[in-house]
Chains A and B, each alone.
Chain A
Amino acid sequence: MKVPLSWLREYVDAPAAPEEAARLLLQAGVGVEAIEGDVLDLEITSNRADLLSILGVAREVGVLLGRPVRVPAPRYAEGARRMDAAWSVSVAALDLCPRYTARAIAGVRIGPSPDWMARRLEASGIRPINNVVDVTNYVLLESGQPLHAFDARRLKGGRVVVRRAAAGEKITALDGREYALSPDMLVIADAERPVAIAGVMGGRETEIGPDTADVLLESAQFDPVSVRRTARRLGLSTESSYRFERGVDYDGVEWASRRAVQLILETAGGAALEGVLEAGGPRPVRPVARVRPARISRVLGMEVPPARVRQILESLGCSVAEREGAFEVAAPPGRRDLRLEADYIEEVARVQGYDAVPCDTRLPQAVPVDPPEEQVREAARSTLAGLGAYEALTWSFAAAGEPNRAPFWTDGPLVPLRDPQGQVDRTLRASLAPGLLGVLETNESYKEPLRPVFEIARIYRKEAAGYGEKTVLGVAAPGDPLAVKGLLERLFERLGIALELRPRDFPFLVPGASAEVVLGGKTVGYVGLAAPELSGLRSAAGVAEIDFEALVPAARLARPYREFNRRPPVERDLSVVLSDGVTWKEVEAVVREAAPATLERLRFLSEYRGKPIPPGHKGWAFSMLFRAADRTLTSEEADAAVQAVLRALESRLGARLR
């Protein structure tokens, strides 16, 4: 809302310096987006329809500075012809039009507006058109009440009817475009057809043109919701609809109408018909709120003396009556946002100044408990980052029409999303894997050295009733999936959960290089080598997803201490040649079975392929740590244990010593 200061100062003694005026308004909650010369561009919140006019801003300035506001009194001489002899006005949809008024001026001469008016319109961002149309726009800016002027000779049958549109009706509006109307839209019609979309835009056929001689002037109040819905449906937002959506005042209708007639007579000549035609419902009763000064102090945490409360409310134009230790307050015209006690509390605080409210740090106590989910999330993130992984932030969206590319939680289609225009151009992901692999892809394309990435975020799915979402931990790392598995091993170690993997094929992972993650007998995730369908990477990458919500209850971040063995251990390495088909799981089983109870730890060391190991075989080295609880182990005992292990590997798995 653009406010030229020189115009504003016609009504109130506002500061002449734009910066000073801006500061004053800002403190009262009216944001100033820009200052261009003499013009302040104000940011009006949607509750303050009353500030969508120069007079409204003047009233606000008047309250803040305690200065009077000079409201012009519209005066003009009426002609002899009577309105009701020439016209009839009726409202057939009272719910959508609480008040409709019409006045008429005969014999105008259309021409350009006087310079002062044209300049003010331009300063406020409105293009001057002709003296009659400009007056309607001028009064809209001045008072906030939108008006419409019809070429009276083009209205048929001497009738104006405010009604819902009939099915199939169309109108060509002032913008030259044809709009199809529907029965939930309100129109202004003459005896034959719609001539305006109520509150939104007038029709082209009845617009004021160079040859217009007689003018019918509409000033009305339309239902905000109806105007908003119609404007949105037609994709047509105007200065007029913007104000009607936010609500215009019942009483403002009459003032604006008279003011416009006065200005039209002054700028375009002609003669006003006598009287006004009016239709609609009764004048609404202004809601009265009970405002208790004690409550104000209780909510604000600051004493405001009752006399000061009353003074503030009256300066705002409220009518205030005292009853049983409280005020009964009715809002001034135009302040549709003032209905409840809380609304008045804000007004008192606002006018008093928010700066006047003290900072109070005595707060009611509640014992905060860091929920387990937060503790586990923190442990997981710091562990993975400590292991060299980068935390990523990927989109919750997938492109529309994209398949669920890593369906471990749901096989269903992705959840579609509609933007405000109802278009579906995206869906919600059902897996973190494509996004995390995408991060590796991006960085591969930038020739960055690849590193492991992870994220804890939600995935989504359709459910029988409504929609579900799940917090998931995703990890992706370059190379074979053992890199991802290694991160998971360390993470699970930190969380105090045993990592259990069972070989299993998934359609989005390379067969034979994937496993499901099992926790308490349930599948809670997967780990494996990303299949080409899942990853556009040139190099190989492993990927894993784990149901984070399953980790939270299983995690044991603090575990009871166990006394440890202080006797010296004996460590022995063994290097054997095995055929390719033998798995570590088998080796481990044989070793543990063959070794004495003193085997404390078995650790895989390395794999070697190539000469002199024959093709189809591999060399595996591993280390065993022996320790007894009750004595110091001798190296002879350890050597004997190694011999036993070797013999078992030879006989059971066809191993031979390297």
Chain B
Amino acid sequence: MDLDSAIEEVRRAFEKDAAGLSPEQLRNRYVGRDGRVRELFGLLKSLPPDRKGSAGQKLNAFKEELERRVEELRRGRASAGSPRAVVDLTLPGRAPELGRLHPVYRTWDEIVRVFTRLGFEVVTGPEIETEENNFEALNIPLEHPSRDAFDTFYIEPPYLLRSHTSPVQVRTMKARRPPIRVLAPGKVFRPDKPDAGHSPMFHQVEGLLVGRDVTFAQLKGVLDLFAKAMWGPRTRIRFRPSFFPFTEPSAEVDVSCFICGARGCPACKRSGWMEILGSGMVHPKVLEHCGIDPEEHTGFAFGLGVERIAMLKYGIPDIRRFTENHFAFLEQF
């Protein structure tokens, strides 16, 4: 084989390898101690003496050329007119794996963030509560049908697992003087049979504002701001009369469907509205019970379910996904 075509063959092989091999590997394979160029020098032996000199020069020049190319590649620069990749960017990058925050707590964070921007302070309370704080102080008497909505896990009377976050209202109003402006996110429990929409353990966020001349109109104002901050400035709210023993007047609050833009979809049962919050003016009896004079101060309270919002936000069809902790679920958030 003649030397020129042998050189050409090695050059082609080099450029082919240059795309995939590191400069270090290229150096070893081509210009190293046992490299392809060294093999070419082996060809010199078979040449007649008069040609050895020029062939040797040719080979040295080729070796320098390849060394130059390796050096260029090492510096991450392809020579001009040779735009070949020096790193295969189709390979996966190198970085630690992402961890994840649970979608329920992400949604919790989001709700809390909006209300803290509106000036609410986060407070917490125990999950093991007393009948007094969970019911009586909230104007839910024993043996009253209004308790039906609050089926409860008992430990032993008077201890129970709180069935809503409203006991935190009671604790806060007993401990502080108005103005009170707090947000109580937390875990609550009800002995519901688990199905797609029910879980015996879930989370609520409760808000409370008590002060002089706090009005129902302000309640509407705050929840309107919340809805717009949470789901966009075009979101509207709708107040409907309802009944909660601890508020009077009471209102169920619907939010214009943020899935379909209130045009009607399965998520809002084609009504354009989604039932999101319960709210109302703190019942005078509740204020009184907590040592606040209802003639001097008024207040409003509201509450919403975190799981429900998360399900709507991410389109999760079944509340039980949240507690399964399947990585294939968690890694999506």
Whether the pair B155, A415 counts as a contact (CB closer than 8 A) is yes
Of B143, B241, B252, which is within 8 A of A346 by CB?
B241
In the bound complex, residues from chain A placing their C-beta under 8 Å from that of B326 are 442-443, 446, 448
Chain B 205-236, CB within 8 Å of chain A: the 1/0 string?
00001011111111011101100000000000
Of B100, B216, B243, which is within 8 A of A301 by CB?
B216
Chain A 311-352, CB within 8 Å of chain B: the 1/0 string?
000000000000000000000000000001111011001100
Is A225 positioned at the interface, with any CB of B under 8 Å from its CB?
A: yes
Is A460 positioned at the interface, with any CB of B under 8 Å from its CB?
A: yes
Of B97, B218, B285, which is within 8 A of A388 by CB?
B97
In the bound complex, residues from chain A placing their C-beta under 8 Å from that of B218 are 301, 360-363
Whether the pair A46, B105 counts as a contact (CB closer than 8 A) is no
Whether the pair B121, A371 counts as a contact (CB closer than 8 A) is yes
Is B27 positioned at the interface, with any CB of A under 8 Å from its CB?
A: no
B169 to chain A, nearest CB (A): 15
How many angstroms between the C-alpha atoms of A275 and B119 in the bound complex? 67
Chain B 307-333, CB within 8 Å of chain A: the 1/0 string?
000000000000000111111101100
Whether the pair B209, A357 counts as a contact (CB closer than 8 A) is no
A264-272, A277-285, A405-413, A416-424: which lies at the interface:
A416-424
Of A298, A359, A369, A389, which is within 8 A of B220 by CB?
A359
Whether the pair A225, B143 counts as a contact (CB closer than 8 A) is yes
In the bound complex, residues from chain A placing their C-beta under 8 Å from that of B155 are 415-418, 428, 467
In the bound complex, residues from chain B placing their C-beta under 8 Å from that of A31 are 240, 252
B29-37, B83-91, B146-154: which lies at the interface:
B146-154
**Residues 126-181 of B contacting A (Cβ, < 8 Å):** 126-128, 143-146, 148-149, 151-156, 159, 161, 179-181
How many angstroms between the C-alpha atoms of A579 and B119 in the bound complex? 61
Is B191 positioned at the interface, with any CB of A under 8 Å from its CB?
A: yes
B76 to chain A, nearest CB (A): 26
Interface size on A, residues (CB 8 A): 87
How many angstroms between the C-alpha atoms of A641 and B222 in the bound complex? 67
**Residues 163-205 of A contacting B (Cβ, < 8 Å):** none
Whether the pair A390, B327 counts as a contact (CB closer than 8 A) is yes
Chain A 378-420, CB within 8 Å of chain B: the 1/0 string?
1001101111111111111100000000000000000111111
Is B251 positioned at the interface, with any CB of A under 8 Å from its CB?
A: yes
How many angstroms between the C-alpha atoms of A449 and B153 in the bound complex? 37
In the bound complex, residues from chain A placing their C-beta under 8 Å from that of B323 are 393-395
Whether the pair B201, A342 counts as a contact (CB closer than 8 A) is no
In the bound complex, residues from chain A placing their C-beta under 8 Å from that of B298 are 298-299
Closest 9 CB pairs of A and B: A29-B241, A301-B217, A301-B215, A45-B243, A346-B249, A385-B99, A354-B239, A360-B217, A368-B121
Interface pairs (27), CB distance under 8 Å? A45-B243, A47-B245, A48-B243, A225-B143, A246-B145, A342-B248, A349-B249, A357-B220, A358-B217, A359-B217, A359-B224, A361-B224, A365-B119, A366-B181, A370-B121, A387-B96, A388-B96, A395-B323, A439-B325, A442-B324, A442-B326, A446-B328, A448-B326, A448-B327, A448-B328, A467-B159, A468-B128
Residues of B within 8 A of A (CB): 96-102, 104-105, 109, 116, 118-124, 126-128, 143-146, 148-149, 151-156, 159, 161, 179-181, 187, 189, 191, 200-201, 209, 211-218, 220-222, 224-225, 238-243, 245, 248-252, 281, 283-285, 298, 322-328, 330-331
Residues of A within 8 A of B (CB): 26-29, 31, 45-48, 224-225, 228-229, 245-246, 298-302, 340-343, 345-346, 349-350, 354-355, 357-371, 373-374, 378, 381-382, 384-397, 415-420, 428, 439, 442-443, 446, 448-449, 451-453, 457-458, 460, 466-469
